[in-house]
Amino acid sequence: MKLRCLGKGGGFHFPACHILEIDGFRILLECPIDLSAIAVFSPISAVFDDANTELINAVPWYKTVTNFPISDLEASLIDVVVVSTPSGMLGLPFLARTKNFSAKVYATEVTARLGKMAMEELVEMHGEFVKVYGLEEDGCLPKWMDMVELRKLSLALKEIVMGENGEDLASWVPLYSTEDINESMKKFCVLKYAEESCYNGALILTPYASGLEIGASNWKISGLRGSVTYLTNSLFRSSHAAKFDFRSLQGNDVILFSDFSPLHENQLFQDNENLSSMPSRRISDDSIDFLESSDVDEDEKMSFLCSCVIDSVKRRGSVLIPIGQLGIMLLLLEEISKSLKSSNLQVPMFMFSPVAEEKMGYVNFIPEWLSESHRQKLFSGKPLFSHADLFEEKRLQLFPDINSSDVPMELREPCIVFCPHWSLRSGPVVHFLHLWRANKDCLLILEKGIDADLTLSPFTPLALKVLQCSFVCGITIPNISLLLNFLHPKLVAFPEDLKKVILLSKETTPSPSSFLFYTDNMTLHVPKVNDNFEAYMSMKLASQLQPRKLQQQNIAIARSGAQLSLQRGKFFLDSIPTPDKLSSRKIHWGSVDRKQLLTALEEKGIVVDHDTSSLTRDNCYNLKNVNGSSGPFQLHFSASETIITGHADETLVSIICEAIDSAADGI
């Protein structure tokens, strides 16, 4: 098994990406786009005369993972793509449009559907740029990629565009089309949680809830020589999504640990220092105690956000929420509408997105994918999300975009607007930022992980209040080693960048597993965890066996012919039509029990010839056949062989061999 990390990603919207080779199959784990990089392009806004002009004025290209297998050849070598979250599939059409791309893509039903919506949203918003700049010419590099132009970029932008040594330049690609999306969706094999799917008769892929987002998953990938847990960002406590199903991952041989959230959260050092002093609440989950230090904070964060929103609207300022995480957005919607109600405020809420209607409708009929509390709503006959009521009461209105015909000419302000895109470069958010940026009573809520300075630079000077909030989106550090101990793998492939984390926690709780550390773009050879393959034997074959007990009393062996076949990742051994045609080669081992040998020979009429006893030494017997003609002959013994010399004809030799057979282990 081999592992190559193509990129450690960057938070919720840009998951890490790997290539895993197992049993000769090449699996691409995630296929993301680094959407934060489109910050280098300026938003469409002819209106901003005073805008920062440092950004690139062009139809944006999109940045994939640095070492992404984007060439026709590399893409054609991929057998399987595994996708865990909608962000993990945004780059898929880039692969799907290469020649000879024939991989099968595995994702949960919900991830595939939400991911498709995200791609459509992206294409739709991208269209705004095309409208302004016109279509790009096919097959030639855009002007901004010219070396001369690139040199003009500021240091910060150059770093994003080119990477440290220019290696990132090749990872920029023009966006795909709606047809590309539809084409790539045909490659999908969509699954439910805990649904086993078989690739090529050999690999079994099974997604289990990761708790990160509705439909998000970790994976069990079972090969012929053992099973791998592909562990992505996971949340023990999730407000909307089905909870992290870590139990189903127990006992797999290898864990590919790919939750980089501690790295992006910058909690690495600060948390380690106060590991013991952290206010922790132990949530007992049967036998395991996971530290849920964060959930209290999360609730606090949410209520703080709501209070800020209420403050704004009370001061007649509008609120702009370009949050990309579906779960967070749903939670905000729910909490804000509750706060509004309790404060007795009649503030309208709007949602602008080409897929708003589809998305909000969709989450209302996927109870199986939601958290326990939402499932309970199904069983008691209440709508899964309160936004169904909000529509009915007209407190929340959905529009495909700001120009759609049913949008009222003047939105009643103050209002609360949910809209894409969190990168603040395209989509309705740009329009609203124009509108409200100078109003100090307005509020903009951003996700963490966004370079706020760069992202907001085209909108300066800003008067509106900006709130950047961070939500936990992975396994928190204290839980990592607890989880790994519970899962009990033989091997863990762990990011080198997080080595400190695991070494530190290993001191407190020694882990039974061995660790390997991987770094970007280096191939890690994962040693075999099982030397043997597992196979099932049919009753028929078992009944045909003629086992023989060895001198070690607890072992029996049998020679057998069998038919070997592979079905759904399992080997089966069945009987063959002519089982008697087995090899006749005799193998013996160990030592020969001489006493037993002589007794056996005696029974066949072969005795020690005492006439020539002078020749009989410790390691050599003279033997003769009492009633036969052939002989005399000698048996020479040594630790590793028995040699028959003298006049022995074929029958005699076979008699001797039989006797040796009974006096030594052999088959």
Partner 1 sequence: MAIECLVLGAGQEVGKSCVVVTIGGKKIMFDCGMHMGRVDNPYPDFSRLSPTGDFDNVLSCVIITHCHLDHVGALPFFTQVCGYRGPIYMTYPTKALSPIMLEDYHKILTEKSNGGEKFTLNDVKECMKKVIPVNIKESVQVDKDLQIRAYYAGHVLGAAMFYAKVGESTLVYTGDYSMTPDRHLGAAEIDRIQLDLLITESTYATTTRDSRFALEREFLNVVHKCVSDGGKVLMPTFSMGRTQELAIMLNDYWERMNLKVPIYFSAGLTLQANVYYKMLIGWTSQRIKQSYVKCNPFDFKHVLPFNRSYIDSPGPCVLFATPGMLTGGFSLEVFMKWAPSKENLVILPGYCLAGTVGHQLMSGKVKTINLDKNTQIDVQCQIHQISFSPHTDSKGIMDLIQFLSPYHVMLMHGEKLNMEKLKGKIQSELGTPCYNPANNETQDLKTSHFHVSRNGNVGEGILIMEKEKRAKFVHEDELLQTLNTEEHKVKIAGCFPVDIGKLQSSVSSLQPNLIEYGGHKFSENANLGKFNILQLLQIKLNELINIEIVCQGFR
* Distance of closest approach, residue 22 Cβ to partner 1, in angstroms: 21
* Distance of closest approach, residue 373 Cβ to partner 1, in angstroms: 14
Of residues 466 and 644, the one with the C-beta less far from partner 1: 644
Sign of CA dihedral 579, 582, 586, 591: negative
Residues 445-504 contacting partner 1, CB under 8 A? none
Residues 505-534 contacting partner 1, CB under 8 A? 532
Residues 59-78 contacting partner 1, CB under 8 A? none
* Distance of closest approach, residue 206 Cβ to partner 1, in angstroms: 7
Q: Which of 574, 593, 604, 630 binds partner 1 (CB under 8 A)?
A: 574
Site string for partner 1, 351-380 (x = CB under 8 A): ------xx--x--xxxxx------x--xx-
* Distance of closest approach, residue 582 Cβ to partner 1, in angstroms: 6
Write the CA distances from 357 to 265, 376, 525, 579, 606, integer angstroms: 32, 24, 47, 66, 96
Site string for partner 1, 382-401 (x = CB under 8 A): xxx-----------------
Residues 232-251 contacting partner 1, CB under 8 A? 248
Which DSSP string do the residues of 388-416 spell out, in sequence order? HHHHHTTSEEEESSTTSTTS-SS--SS-E
Q: Which region, judged by CB under 8 A, interacts with partner 1, from 13-21, 270-278, 517-525, 641-649?
A: 641-649
* Distance of closest approach, residue 279 Cβ to partner 1, in angstroms: 34
Q: Which region, judged by CB under 8 A, interacts with partner 1, from 51-59, 118-126, 193-201, 451-459?
A: 193-201
Q: How far apart are CA 613 and CA 597, in angstroms?
A: 18
Of residues 176 and 193, the one with the C-beta less far from partner 1: 193
* Distance of closest approach, residue 192 Cβ to partner 1, in angstroms: 5
Of residues 284 and 640, the one with the C-beta less far from partner 1: 640
**Contact status: 556 vs partner 1 (CB under 8 A):** yes
* Distance of closest approach, residue 574 Cβ to partner 1, in angstroms: 4
Q: Which of 134, 139, 381, 461 binds partner 1 (CB under 8 A)?
A: 381
Q: How far apart are CA 304 and CA 530, in angstroms?
A: 52
**Contact status: 120 vs partner 1 (CB under 8 A):** no
Structure tokens at 548: 């023989």
Measured in whole angstroms, how far is the alpha carbon of residue 319 from the centre of its chain? 36
Site string for partner 1, 256-295 (x = CB under 8 A): ----------------------------------------
Q: How far apart are CA 291 and CA 278, in angstroms?
A: 10
Rg of the chain over all Cα atoms, to the nearest angstrom: 35
Of residues 10 and 354, the one with the C-beta less far from partner 1: 354
Measured in whole angstroms, how far is the alpha carbon of residue 574 from the centre of its chain? 35
Q: Which of 192, 237, 395, 500 binds partner 1 (CB under 8 A)?
A: 192
* Beta carbons within 10 angstroms of residue 620's beta carbon: 13
In this structure, which amino acid lies at residue 132?
A: V
* Distance of closest approach, residue 49 Cβ to partner 1, in angstroms: 41
Size of interface with partner 1, in residues (CB under 8 A): 78
If we measure between CA atoms, which residue out of 236, 210, 248, 250 comes closest to residue 486?
250
Q: Which of 140, 147, 409, 539 binds partner 1 (CB under 8 A)?
A: 539
Site string for partner 1, 414-453 (x = CB under 8 A): ----------------------------------------
In this structure, which amino acid lies at residue 413?
A: E
Residues 203-222 contacting partner 1, CB under 8 A? 206
**Contact status: 136 vs partner 1 (CB under 8 A):** no
* Distance of closest approach, residue 27 Cβ to partner 1, in angstroms: 21
Q: Which of 73, 146, 643, 651 binds partner 1 (CB under 8 A)?
A: 643
Of residues 307 and 530, the one with the C-beta less far from partner 1: 530
* Distance of closest approach, residue 539 Cβ to partner 1, in angstroms: 4
Which DSSP string do the residues of 221-276 spell out, in sequence order? EEETTEEEEEE-S--SS-SSBPP---GGGTT-SEEEE---HHHHHT-HHHHHHTTT
* Distance of closest approach, residue 137 Cβ to partner 1, in angstroms: 36
**Contact status: 648 vs partner 1 (CB under 8 A):** yes
Of residues 163 and 561, the one with the C-beta less far from partner 1: 561
Write the CA distances from 25 to 74, 316, 532, integer angstroms: 13, 59, 19
Q: How far apart are CA 198 and CA 250, in angstroms?
A: 20
Is the CB of residue 55 less than 8 Å from the CB of residue 41?
yes
Of residues 304 and 365, the one with the C-beta less far from partner 1: 365
Measured in whole angstroms, how far is the alpha carbon of residue 270 from the centre of its chain? 28
659: which residues sit within 8 A by CB, 6+ positions away? 597, 600, 601, 604, 606
Q: Pseudo-torsion of CA 368, 373, 374, 375, nearest 10°?
A: 40
Site string for partner 1, 601-640 (x = CB under 8 A): --------------------------------------xx
Which 3-state string (H, E, C) describes 145-194?
A: HCHHHHHHCCHHHHHHHHCCCCHHHHHEECCCCHHHHHHHHCCEEEECCC
Of residues 443 and 659, the one with the C-beta less far from partner 1: 659
Q: How far apart are CA 414 and CA 59, in angstroms?
A: 33
Of residues 185 and 321, the one with the C-beta less far from partner 1: 185
